[in-house]
Structure 1
Amino acid sequence: MDGKLIVSSSPHISSPVKTKNIMLDVIIALIPALIASLYFFGPRAGALVIVTVAACVISEYVSRKVMKRPQTVGDLSAVVTGMLLAFNYPATLPFWIAALGGVVAIVVVKQMFGGLGHNFANPAITARVILLTSFALRMTTWVAPHAWQGTVDATATATPLALINSGATEELPTYAQMLIGERAGCLGETCIIALLIGGIYLVAKKVISPIIPVCYIATVFVLSAVLGQDPVMQILSGGLFLGAIFMATDYVTSPITNKGKVIYAIGCGIITVLIRQFASLPEGVSYSILLMNILTPHIENATTPKTFGVGKEAK
């Protein structure tokens, strides 16, 4: 009979926004940074992105097949993971290590925990940390921008954070050079303007909230100033904008409450600055996000509002 009452479990209202739509928006937001990486680091940057994305997509397809689970390649999440992971690579990284990173991100970090929505940490961040630990020299061998054109010395160079740590501040790029990406670094982290364009697009499309990126970057700025560092250079250096906009905001591994987002972002900022200032590593973004990913369930438990009308449990 027509119009009969159907009783089913919640949710009763479905959203037209699907995972594929969200991931497509993220891919679009990453395009400016991709173009910048091609401009500064040449065709090899594009090849690294293609290899990493292909490794992620193939790994997702094969692992879902082996585990006898429904295919999820079409939701584009593997493509996003591949792009973000490649953006954390130096232009000199061998292709086989790039592919290995994609396999680790998808199979070990994502699919072994149940797939999208079940992973305890951001796959791209975790894979990068694993590669940094396993191939430290390969993952920290940098070249100057435009070296691929032969117009500058193509030998290994230092990133701004490494220059700061070594005390060679006179060799640091200017603020303007940092903004446009005229510095050594990972493929997708150097051009701040490109990352900001992508971030503004995601906020405008309501894919992400500005709370985490703003609080994260602001914490690094303030704490760096307190510790006597140049706060502008600190926020423009390293992968802070890439991490704050595209990785720390991951739906699965970041808190859902606004209060939780603030706590999470401030925690990321504090850990980043502490690692930069007091650890042997020049950069702390990846480690800070990974550590706060692990703490996310506890942050959500502490900040989730109590159900209306429900009192405290009796002890």
Structure 2
Amino acid sequence: MIHSPYVRKPVSVQRTMGLVLLALVPGVIAHVLVIGAGVLVNLAIATLTAVAAEALMLHLRRRPVAIAVSDLSAVVTAWLVTLCFPPIVPWWLTVGGVLVAIVAVKHLYGGLGQNPFNPAMIAYCSMIVAFPALMSQWPPAGQLAFDTQLSLILGGPRDLDGITGATALDALRTGLRAGVQTVDAVLQGSAFGALGGRGWEWISVGYIAGGLFLLALRIITWHMPVAFIATLAAISGAFWLANPAAFASPLFHLASGGAMLAAFFIVTDPVSGATTPRGKLLFAAGIALIAWLIRNFGAYPEGIAFGVLLMNLCVPLLDMKTQPPVFGHRNDTKGAGK
């Protein structure tokens, strides 16, 4: 029988980041099975770049290099950047995105635990704004051999019509904006599977499995994943019920794009996100709302990254306004002096 006092063992950054990497493995495996092994090449490139950049910045800042590099935080950032990028982007774009995340977003703000913005999402937004064509080249599920993917990653010729296809979100947006098709008609295209993008349902299942693993180990809390998924389902469901010809169902939005990766691995970033329980709910709900608005009315087919960065700006206000009351004190100005 266990008696009080109840003292938790300190959780190291290395252990936490290692578990996050382990939780990403099911999604990576599904990614390889559905799209191809090219993503593994870019994961390797991103990991080497992140570790090298981390070591260089720590050296320039005169901080201990060996200890900080081994905490795996740079590797987690590298993996998240890679999994947000198309798996056949050229190597230099992956390197550029990781350098933005590690050097500009993480270390220029003071290093681990100091960055106000999500590094992977800054990397994604900067690259899609700078190189929109390359960041839109997603290969169709199961239709591109590994040697072709490797050639494209290493700088081979890029025949756009032969190597890429529209993602589910992009195909839906383009079909609806053409003004001649309903959602049901668009969803008959080759880019779509049973629920969302062809094959992406299984990738989403992989990320869900990893997310549940993190929840079971209490690496993340339920607030952000539940708020993100519930808000995205609620807003998309309301518009779908009101006009199913013009708006996709909640299942489509949840099973397409980076929704499940975002719900369990992006939104839950402990550094750039809200920290209070109510703040976490509002933070994740805001991201889901912005993502849905951009998906349906914006210039980009996916809006999660922009939603994360906009809500990062709101974190100080959310944390200030949602602080739980201190035991024995009222949470208002009038009672503060009593």
TM-score band by shorter chain is 0.7 to 0.9
Deviation per CA, 1:262-291, whole angstroms, max 9, x where unpaired? 111111111111111111211111111111
The partner residue of 2:173 within 165, 179, 186 is 165
Q: Is the 8 A contact 2:224 2:280 kept in 1?
A: yes
Does residue 39 (structure 1) correspond to residue 44 (structure 2)? The answer is: no
Instruction: Report the secondary structure of 1:148's partner residue.
Output: coil
User: Relative to 1, partners in 2 of residues 1:132 and 1:208: Cα closer, same or farther, differing over 3 Å?
Assistant: same
| Number of aligned residue pairs | 295
Does residue 131 (structure 1) correspond to residue 139 (structure 2)? The answer is: no
Q: Is the 8 A contact 2:46 2:82 kept in 1?
A: yes
Q: State the shift of 1:116 in Å.
A: 0.9
Instruction: Report the secondary structure of 2:62's partner residue.
Output: coil
Does residue 119 (structure 1) correspond to residue 115 (structure 2)? The answer is: yes
Deviates more, 1:218-227 or 1:38-47: 38-47
Correspondence for 2:276:
257
Correspondence for 1:296:
315
Correspondence for 1:203:
215
- 1:1-315 alignment to 2 at 5 Å? 15-71=9-65, 72-149=68-145, 154-167=162-175, 168-171=186-189, 172-175=191-194, 178=197, 182-183=199-200, 191-228=203-240, 229=247, 230-310=249-329, 312-313=332-333
Q: State the shift of 1:112 in Å.
A: 0.5
Q: State the shift of 1:256 in Å.
A: 1.6
**Partner amino acid, structure 2, of 1:266:** A
**Partner amino acid, structure 2, of 1:264:** F
Q: State the shift of 1:234 in Å.
A: 1.3
Q: Is the 8 A contact 1:52 1:102 kept in 2?
A: yes
Q: TM-score, with normalisation over the residues of structure 2?
A: 0.82
Deviates more, 1:229-238 or 1:116-125: 229-238
Q: Is the 8 A contact 1:255 1:261 kept in 2?
A: yes
Deviates more, 1:40-49 or 1:20-29: 40-49
CA distance in 1, matches of 2:215, 2:126: 30
**Partner amino acid, structure 1, of 2:171:** L
Q: State the shift of 1:197 in Å.
A: 0.8
Q: State the shift of 1:128 in Å.
A: 0.8
Segments of 4+ in structure 1 off by > 6 A?
none
Deviation per CA, 1:156-175, whole angstroms, max 9, x where unpaired? 10111111112233215233
Q: Is the 8 A contact 1:29 1:199 kept in 2?
A: yes
**Partner amino acid, structure 1, of 2:170:** A
Deviation per CA, 1:215-265, whole angstroms, max 9, x where unpaired? 101111111122232111111111111111101001111122111111111
Q: State the shift of 1:154 in Å.
A: 4.9
Q: Is the 8 A contact 2:196 2:255 kept in 1?
A: no
The percentage of counterpart residues that share the same residue type is: 32
**Partner amino acid, structure 1, of 2:314:** L
Q: Is the 8 A contact 1:143 1:154 kept in 2?
A: no
**Partner amino acid, structure 1, of 2:255:** L
Gaps of 5+ in 1: 1-12, 184-188
CA distance in 2, matches of 1:108, 1:146: 36
Deviates more, 1:222-231 or 1:265-274: 222-231
Q: Is the 8 A contact 1:144 1:154 kept in 2?
A: no
Q: Is the 8 A contact 2:195 2:251 kept in 1?
A: no
Q: Is the 8 A contact 2:196 2:253 kept in 1?
A: no
CA distance in 2, matches of 1:218, 1:313: 34
Q: Is the 8 A contact 1:148 1:154 kept in 2?
A: no
Q: State the shift of 1:299 in Å.
A: 0.4
- Computed over aligned residues only, the root mean square deviation of the Cα atoms, in angstroms, reads 2.2
CA distance in 2, matches of 1:233, 1:227: 13
Q: State the shift of 1:190 in Å.
A: 6.6
Q: TM-score, with normalisation over the residues of structure 1?
A: 0.88
Q: State the shift of 1:149 in Å.
A: 3.1
Q: Is the 8 A contact 1:42 1:146 kept in 2?
A: yes
Correspondence for 1:10:
none
**Partner amino acid, structure 1, of 2:166:** A
Gaps of 5+ in 2: 1-6, 147-160, 176-185, 241-246
User: Relative to 1, partners in 2 of residues 1:177 and 1:259: Cα closer, same or farther, differing over 3 Å?
Assistant: closer
Correspondence for 2:150:
none
CA distance in 2, matches of 1:307, 1:218: 29
CA distance in 2, matches of 1:17, 1:195: 23
Instruction: Report the secondary structure of 1:157's partner residue.
Output: coil
Q: Is the 8 A contact 1:190 1:238 kept in 2?
A: no
CA distance in 2, matches of 1:190, 1:82: 22
